[in-house]
């Protein structure tokens, strides 16, 4: 009877050691070895366009026609519509307008290594 208890205890301890080792290795790979992921430039452009459309939909809901308006990434971040912190050192803006109740937006970004065609600093 004592030898069965010893065998069960051995396998129990072995299981605990293997599980601990597995999670330790997994955390090491996920935390220490994985590179920081930055979202792609196309994703930033799409997110800026979507944020500008949501901005117009909220702030100009009762107006059918609004001329071209420049919305910076800082402004859209301040109102909680754009996750600027996901995109590193990139800056950008969106030009949005509303014609007959239809909202359209075009976004432009400027990063250290990339600049959208048509980006205007002013």
Higher pLDDT, 27 or 77: 77
Note the pTM of the prediction, 2 decimals.
Answer: 0.65
- The SS3 assignment for 33 reads helix
Those residues with Cβ within 8 angstroms of residue 39's Cβ, 6 or more apart along the chain or in another chain: 86, 87
- If one compares 67 and 1, the residue with the highest pLDDT of the two is 67
Question: Under a CB-based contact definition with an 8 Å cutoff, are residues 73 and 116 in contact?
Answer: no
Dist CA 95 CA 83 (whole Å)? 18
pLDDT digits (tens, 9 = 90+) for 34-90: 343 445 788 889 999 999 999 999 999 899 999 999 999 999 999 999 988 888 788
| Span 78-96, pLDDT tens digits | 999 998 888 878 899 999 9
């Amino acid at each position: 009877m004592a030898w069965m208890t010893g065998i069960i205890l051995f396998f129990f301890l072995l299981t605990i050691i293997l599980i601990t080792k597995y999670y330790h290795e997994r955390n090491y790979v996920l935390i220490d070895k994985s590179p920081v992921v930055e979202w792609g430039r196309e994703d930033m452009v799409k997110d800026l366009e979507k944020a500008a459309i949501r901005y117009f939909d909220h702030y100009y809901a009762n107006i059918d026609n609004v001329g071209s308006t420049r919305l910076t990434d800082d402004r859209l971040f301040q109102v909680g519509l754009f996750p600027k912190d996901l995109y590193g050192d990139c800056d950008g803006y969106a030009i949005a307008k509303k014609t007959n109740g239809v909202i359209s937006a075009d976004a432009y970004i400027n990063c250290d290594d990339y600049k959208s065609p048509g980006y205007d600093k002013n």
